[in-house]
Structure 1
């Protein structure tokens, strides 16, 4: 009963966080590991739990996304699919002991990206150095297929480096491509039998409810409070997973 309470609460709060500021995977992944599932299985199941949030976010920016041609959408989606699949396959061939070792590093990196995201975006814009969008997207999608944390801010920084300036369009594209690459990675994890489906689906439902209510909460709660909470959670989880290795 305690285990289910923690998993459902983690899913719900992840949905709230993703709707307000992002960072939901900082809760779903550690909760599954705490429940006793191996890190790779927990990572794959966590991807299932947060998947609908990306689709909902993309629909919220559907008006802005219409600014891109269908051909452009297809090309970007194809690159995201290829990168997401490559990242998922890379995770599947990673030995469990190696993944357990790199988890604290991935969590710390994702936390740093989340904390420094606005500064990174500002520096990228000021640099004026254009970054090829498609090769950059492929590399970011590999990371997203391998480990989801911090994916959103990496995509936004990439779009800024590629010369995009419409923030609403960038957010819509971020959610759209995150859904595409996460969907293909979940499919790969499913074929490999790395997903705990019942727990994942229950957490998905909880995250969907949390996302719906989080949208209303985002209008009342200062985003900076939520961001600070996510950063603290990310640092705590990094320390916990580091301690597990000692």
Structure 2
């Protein structure tokens, strides 16, 4: 019983983080692994568990949905769905032992993109203008990343979009919530039919994630973007360090 209560609490925190800026899997993935779930199955179960919270966040943010780097929402959404399906299938074909060593590098990439993306953005925008093909290609890759890993895909999207757009995190959050939830939706369907999901652990976490996603989205409308971003970066750095120690110690 204690394990399920802790998983529910982890889901609540992760749902709130995803609603604020992303990175909820930095909480759910280690929590599921600590509960004894193998890493590949933990990643799949985490994706399914965070889905209800993502849907709740999209509902709260629905009035703020808009273009991504000047590209209409529909083609961006379709590219994300296709990428999510590809990534989910790739995960199912990845041995757990290999994923354990790839995971910290995925976390590191996400953390670096979040940290340095806003600084690189103005420099790139001075020398490079992103068209619809570029934006959709980037979104397809992000969808693959989201379907495969799930962890920090929201952070990756915010970081990548900040390279192409001058909008702040609060403005981009509604579209980010929709895209991450869309990638998770198609991945969730594939994982559910594959039989890889640990349903009791996932259910406990999903209950917490639903409440956290709804509350976090409302909180995200009020918190300054600097606080949201700074806190997420610090937490991402800590979890990345822990997973490097776990994989290579």
TM-score category, normalised to shorter length: 0.7 to 0.9
Cα distance between partner residues in 1 of 2:221 and 2:58: 19
**Match of residue 203 from structure 1:** 205
**Match of residue 18 from structure 2:** 18
Give the gaps of 5 or more residues in structure 2. Answer: none
Q: 2:122 aligned with 1:130, yes or no?
A: no
Cα distance between partner residues in 1 of 2:2 and 2:202: 17
Question: Deviation above 6 Å: which 4+ runs of structure 1?
Answer: 166-169
Cα distance between partner residues in 2 of 1:126 and 1:220: 32
Aligned-pair CA distance for 1:136: 1.8
**Match of residue 233 from structure 1:** 235
Cα distance between partner residues in 2 of 1:166 and 1:3: 38
Q: 2:67 aligned with 1:62, yes or no?
A: no
Cα distance between partner residues in 1 of 2:15 and 2:201: 15
Give the gaps of 5 or more residues in structure 1. Answer: none
Length-normalised TM-score, structure 1: 0.83
Aligned-pair CA distance for 1:220: 6.7
Q: Cα gap change, 1:175/1:219 in structure 2, threshold over 3 Å: closer, same or farther?
A: closer
Q: 209-218 or 16-25, which moves further after superposition?
A: 209-218
The question of whether the paired residues in 2 share the 8 Å contact of 1:61 and 1:168 is answered with no
**Match of residue 107 from structure 1:** 107
**Match of residue 34 from structure 1:** 34
Cα distance between partner residues in 2 of 1:163 and 1:78: 20
The question of whether the paired residues in 2 share the 8 Å contact of 1:110 and 1:150 is answered with yes
Cα distance between partner residues in 1 of 2:227 and 2:63: 29
Q: 139-148 or 55-64, which moves further after superposition?
A: 55-64
Q: 2:209 aligned with 1:213, yes or no?
A: no
Q: How does 1:132-211 map to 2 (within 5 A)?
A: 132-159=134-161, 170-211=172-213
Cα distance between partner residues in 2 of 1:166 and 1:229: 16
Q: Cα gap change, 1:223/1:176 in structure 2, threshold over 3 Å: closer, same or farther?
A: closer
Report how many residues are paired: 244
Q: 181-190 or 220-229, which moves further after superposition?
A: 220-229
Aligned-pair CA distance for 1:137: 1.4
What is the RMSD of the two structures over their aligned residues, measured on CA atoms?
Answer: 3.0
Aligned-pair CA distance for 1:204: 1.4
Aligned-pair CA distance for 1:34: 0.8
Length-normalised TM-score, structure 2: 0.82
